[in-house]
């Protein structure tokens, strides 16, 4: 679901994120695609278009997330919400092991799963950035 994001609000969200995707930490200058403003809680689920519900996201994170707010983790079949950049601390839910993002919590595990943060393409992208001295964790 799409919503018009006023230019001023888009600028606030991008500035607050310092040009980084708030999910995978990729910097916009290292991406071929313009970053997008993501509704953390999608409009479909009653989320609003206001600063507290918006995050700066790379094309891949935003597309994979879609309108999802969580996922079921196996084997227990527990529903776990996704990481929320406005209320969660990234370092409490994620860490790096080489070029792979590893979960430190169920929220981290759910987010890595839904956003496909360790796909071969994303790891290769990090490797290229690391070789260029741009993958700074």
**Distance, C-alpha 18 to centroid of its chain:** 14
Please state, rounded to an integer, the average pLDDT across all residues of the chain.
94
pLDDT at residue 4, rounded to an integer: 80
Whether omega for the bond prior to residue 75 falls within 30 degrees of 0, making it cis, is: yes
Measure the CA–CA gap between 80 and 96, rounded to whole angstroms: 21
> Span 86-104, mean pLDDT?
97
Would you place residue 3 in the very low, low, confident or very high pLDDT band (cuts 50, 70, 90)?
low
Among 40, 1, 9, which Cα is nearest to 22's? 40
pLDDT reading at 1 higher than 50: no
Contact 53, 105 (CB under 8 A): no
Q: Do 101 and 114 form a contact (C-beta atoms < 8 A)?
A: no
Is it the case that residue 134 has pLDDT exceeding 90? no
- Which DSSP category does 30 fall into? G
Q: Which residues pair with 57 in a beta bridge?
A: 36
Mean pLDDT, range 128-133, rounded to an integer: 92
Domain ranges of the chain: 7-131
């Amino acid at each position: 679901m799409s919503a018009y994001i006023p230019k001023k609000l888009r600028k606030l969200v991008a500035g607050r994120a310092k040009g980084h995707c708030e999910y995978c930490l990729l910097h916009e200058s290292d991406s071929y695609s313009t970053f997008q403003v993501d509704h953390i809680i999608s409009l479909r689920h009653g989320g609003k278009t206001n600063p507290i519900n918006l995050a700066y996201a790379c094309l891949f994170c935003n597309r994979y997330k879609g309108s999802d707010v969580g996922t079921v983790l196996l084997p227990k079949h527990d529903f776990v919400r996704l990481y929320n950049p406005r209320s969660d601390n990234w370092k409490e839910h994620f860490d790096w092991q080489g070029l792979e993002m590893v979960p430190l919590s169920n929220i981290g595990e759910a987010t890595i799963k839904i956003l496909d943060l360790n796909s071969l393409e994303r790891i290769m992208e990090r490797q290229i950035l690391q070789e260029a001295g741009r993958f700074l964790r």
